[in-house]
Structure 1
Amino acid sequence: MRKSIKIGQKVFKFKKDALAYYKAILNSYNFGESLNDSDYEAIVDLLSYDYFNSLAADEASEEENRELLEMDENNADENQESISIIDVQVARVQFNTKCFEVFFNDDTSEYISYIILINNKKYDPEKLFYTACRNSVHLDIHLVKQGYFDSYSVKGQVKCQETGILSKWTELVVDHRQPNTFSIIVDRFKEVKNTDLETIEYASNDQNQIIFKDDNLTQSFKAYHKSKANLRVVRKECNSSRIAMARVKKTAKDLTIK
């Protein structure tokens, strides 16, 4: 029997109904407009839906669900400096199309696709591990970007290291240079540590992010990533793939985690 989809308090009988609901929200705004309160909450619920379905068992009881939510609320109260969403806007992306852009209180933002989030199936061991690795180095990546701005910012703008275009914070992302893309770093780490993905345990932090339950594993990946990552601060629209690039040595322009 086909299961209904519950996102926040809203229940959709079919996936297509959920897709139509979020498409209607997206198309009701012009580029650069912030969502109203109810639509904002719908997007926040959608982001929570993505993480919750990756962590909770398919047949989790209501009591288990309630315990998870209470744990998240308690952790948020204990950490007043946690990263949180402050705004959601409709952004202009490639080919003049629309997408949601989520802004956080640490001056970062992220494009999201409601289609990907709704279609996202339960995380498999590979995807869980990759996501936990990504979340392990989130702060390190943020500090690299902050350090670049602290060193080179002129009136709130720095040069994109790919194009040389002066850009604002929200127009830039931190990119891993090939050949050591983030995916490659994760794969090599698994090989070096001879990791059995089936035995890894996960938890949820106070930002409702997937993290390793074992902090030693988190610290081990952070150290490995620090030793391998060659980073650049580039504009979001830059094509970060460099398929034809062979293995390269670190250059003076590469940014490293301090």
Structure 2
Amino acid sequence: MAKAITLSNGRTWKTQKDALAHFKAMLDRYDNQDVIDTRADHEDLVVLLERYDEAITDGPSKTGTGIDYFTRTLNNFKGFATAGFWVHREDGTATDFSYISAVKGQPKGPSKEFYDACRAAVQEDLHAAKLKFFKEYADTDGYVPCEVTGQQIAYQDAHLDHAGHTFNQIVSSFRAARGWTLEVPNGIVSLPADGQTQSTLIDPAVAKAFVDFHHSLATLRIVLSTVNLSMAARQRQPTIRRPVPLQCSSNPA
């Protein structure tokens, strides 16, 4: 049975999907750095953040000292960016929050936070590898062939795919190798704080160890971003015409 979503202001959706679509459409109505100035939108975000704080208990309150306003803000990661909502508080501080997590009403949990921190540790190297690959192999129009479809694709339409071992498998193997299969020890992952949009590995030695472990197992290929990777993944050890090599960055964390 579909799970209805109800906020404290009386807003109700029959399913999570409908609620997520509502907030996604809201985000799309604004440009980056815009203040969410429509009264109904602002009120919906206020009660959504209330729901977030009630559900996500393994981090500091996002509401903090009180809400002043919301903006659509571009969150910059290593190699990519994505738009999201930020709450600006009455004391002048601000931070991001996930409307998806708020709607679903459940924390990601330690395993997902560790996964995200591992992804952050290698993101810079993945971005550099993709740039270098296109610089070396792109034709005069800037295109390279998709490893799955053979279609010529541009950089912005390309996805760097883990063939063979998936990224999740690599993270799981790393945890097993360190004896962390049942749980990740405290003090390993830094949860997102104000202005920090990704969990990170606290100890540089652990971050470097994961980067080295990942690079020793990862086999990467360029595929069209819209290709059905769930189908492509059935062949987890594909023949890759041009694998994408990885090199460690100077700062893996």
Shared fold per TM-score greater than 0.5: yes
Partner of 1:253 in structure 2?
A: 242
Partner of 2:159 in structure 1?
A: 173
Listed one character per residue, the Cα deviations across residues 195-232 of structure 1 (whole Å, up to 9, x for unaligned) are: 26342332238652111122221111111001000001
Q: Structure 1 pair 219/147, CA: closer, same or farther in 2 (3 Å)?
A: same
1:129 touches 1:197 (CA, 8 Å); kept in 2?
A: no
1:173 touches 1:235 (CA, 8 Å); kept in 2?
A: yes
Q: Does residue 197 of structure 2 align to residue 208 of structure 1? A: yes
What stretches of structure 2 of length at least 5 have no aligned partner? 1-5, 66-72, 85-97, 248-253
Partner of 2:112 in structure 1?
A: 127
Partner of 1:82 in structure 2?
A: none
Q: Structure 1 pair 233/252, CA: closer, same or farther in 2 (3 Å)?
A: closer
Q: Structure 1 pair 38/21, CA: closer, same or farther in 2 (3 Å)?
A: farther
Q: Structure 1 pair 117/136, CA: closer, same or farther in 2 (3 Å)?
A: farther
Q: CA deviation at 1:115?
A: 5.1
Partner of 1:147 in structure 2?
A: 132
Partner of 2:221 in structure 1?
A: 232
Q: Distance in 1 between matches of 2:205 and 2:26?
A: 46
Q: Distance in 2 between matches of 1:34 and 1:253?
A: 40
Q: Name the SS for the 2:213 alignment partner.
A: helix
Q: Distance in 2 between matches of 1:15 and 1:212?
A: 38
Q: Distance in 1 between matches of 2:143 and 2:23?
A: 32
Question: Where do residues 211-222 of structure 1 align in structure 2 (5 Å cutoff)?
Answer: 211-222=200-211
Q: TM-score, normalised by structure 2?
A: 0.61
2:79 touches 2:123 (CA, 8 Å); kept in 1?
A: no
Q: TM-score, normalised by structure 1?
A: 0.60
| Bigger Rg over Cα | 2
Amino acid at match of 2:235: M
How high is the sequence identity, in percent, across the aligned residues?
21
Larger helix proportion, structure 1 or 2?
A: 1
Q: Distance in 2 between matches of 1:106 and 1:247?
A: 28
Q: Distance in 2 between matches of 1:132 and 1:170?
A: 24
Q: Structure 1 pair 246/168, CA: closer, same or farther in 2 (3 Å)?
A: closer
Q: Name the SS for the 1:197 alignment partner.
A: coil
